[in-house]
Structure 1
Amino acid sequence: MLCAGARREWITLVVTTALLAAGAAVLGWWWASLMIVVLGGVVLLTFRDPNRNPPSQRGVVVSAADGRVSSIHVLEDCAPLGGRTLCVRVFLSLLNVHVVRIPCYGRIASIEHRPGRYVSALNPASVEENESVTLVIEHPTSQASVAVVRLIAGQFARTVRLFVQEGQTLQRGQRLGIILLGSTAEVYLPDAAVADCVVSEQDRVRAGESVIVGVRGEGSAS
């Protein structure tokens, strides 16, 4: 199943691929035509949107994206959350599903778009310099900020399309949007609420299913 929220993009991709491949074939460039079809097929795979089954247990946070855990680190201060903050960063390759999901139950308190560059996601500078969208998630009852999700564009992924808006309350694992053509997704959690980080760098994770952190407290992300 392909992502309904990005239908315009993948239909454009299919039509463009078909026209270019047909044009190359008419000119007798069969290898070029085949390569265009293969490349178009690979890119089309990034739009797939499989169903996911979030874990039922309380007190856990799941990955926001499919991919490889590229960094786990603690920041001394993260403005929306305040104080020491754990960050789990996931790199999405061209072969991963690109639909991103909310890591915990909560309400979308704010959405901030930050313009920036389009440095390759393999370059560490991309995390600070590239265009990004930041979503602050708050507990629906206490209205305390419990998590932050940051979606970072890459060299080719110049579009982050959200399916949600401020004020929406979502269950853990529901769709947030899609990052077109791969990049990076980060989940930030208050370090004081983290009971256990259950993933390591280089681990492979799946959005909405793979548990990345166990948390403590009724008002924390879960």
Structure 2
Amino acid sequence: MFAPYARTEVWATTAVGAGAAALTALYAGPLWTVLPIAAAAALLSFYRDPHRTPPARGDVLIAPADGRIVEVTQIPPTDSSPAMLSITIFLSVTNVHLNRSPCAGRVRAVDYRPGRFLNALDPASNRENESNRITFEPNAPLPGPVSIRQIAGLLARRIVCAVRPGDSVALGQRVGMIKLGSRTELCAVDDGGWVVEVKIGDTVRGAETIMLSRKAG
């Protein structure tokens, strides 16, 4: 199954792959068709949409993307925002590129910010690259707001946001895509009630891995 936000790329890749395979068979022989077919299959894998089953819990925030944890940060409060917990996921070109809601609730705001296209391996990409923040008002008992930030990269230059303010979302629901990888950041208010369930270097699965959970009691 392919992501609904990549229909154009899927059709184009399939058509080009089929045409290249036909020409290869005609001029080089059927055995050589494995090359364009394999190349097309590799490109199509970038847009896959595997089934995921979110945890049956209402006291957690789950991974908004597949990938590897590269930052776990406490952000101090400012005049305009409270202290926050920030967890950043690096998405390689081989990861699933969909973004999912970390909680059930309602979309409070969507904020696009233009920026650079630094390599996603560069920590500065978190601050300087083009990004899109989706802020959620989570269902009780979770405190809000909660947000995810889709961050572009050197190759990932197209951010797709599939929700608007006021939309209701389910836990693990598809909310967008970063085409060809990059980074996704999860932020929650640091009220002292969260347990961080992941660490730098961990591999996470979107819609399934628990990132933060509420302390008992």
- Match in the other structure for 1:86: 85
Number of positions where the alignment pairs a residue of Structure 1 with one of Structure 2: 216
Secondary structure of 1:117's match?
A: coil
1:126 positional shift: 1.5
Q: Render the CA deviation track for 1:81-116: whole Å, top value 9, x for unaligned.
A: x22111110011111111110001121111111112
Larger CA deviation: 6-15 vs 171-180: 6-15
Residue-by-residue CA offset, 1:27-63 (whole Å, 9 max, x unaligned):
6599997555433322211211112111112211100
Q: In structure 2, do the counterparts of structure 1 residues 40 and 119 end up closer, same or farther at CA, with 3 Å as the change threshold? A: farther
Judged with a 3 Å threshold, the aligned counterparts in structure 2 of structure 1 residues 207 and 141 are, in CA distance, closer, same or farther, namely closer
What TM-score do you get using the length of structure 2 for normalisation? Answer: 0.87
Q: Tell me, in whole angstroms, the C-alpha distance in 2 between the residues paired with 1:123 and 1:104.
A: 28
Report what 1:203 is aligned to.
202
Give 1:73-152 correspondences, 5 Å limit.
73-77=73-77, 82-139=81-138, 145-152=144-151
Alpha-carbon deviation of 1:10? 1.5
Deviation for aligned residue 1:204? 0.8
- % of aligned pairs identical? 32
Cα separation, partners in 2 of 1:71 and 1:50, compared to 1, 3 Å: same
Q: 1:78·1:85 contact (CA, 8 Å) conserved in 2? A: no
Letter in 2 for 1:59: D
Give 5+ residue unaligned stretches, structure 1.
Answer: 218-222
Mapped contact 1:160–1:180 kept (Cα < 8 A): yes
CA RMSD of aligned residues (A): 2.8
Is the CA contact 1:76–1:83 (under 8 Å) kept in the aligned structure 2?
yes
Are 1:42 and 2:42 counterparts? yes
Q: Map 1:23-42; keep pairs closer than 5 Å.
A: 28=28, 35-42=35-42
Partner of 1:7: 7
Q: Does 1:214 align with 2:213?
A: yes
User: Does the 8 Å contact 1:42/1:95 carry over to 2?
Assistant: no
Distance in structure 1 (CA, Å) of the matches to 2:74 and 2:23: 52
1:65 — aligned with what? 65
Amino acid at match of 1:202: G
Query: Residue 184 of structure 2 aligns with which residue?
Result: 185
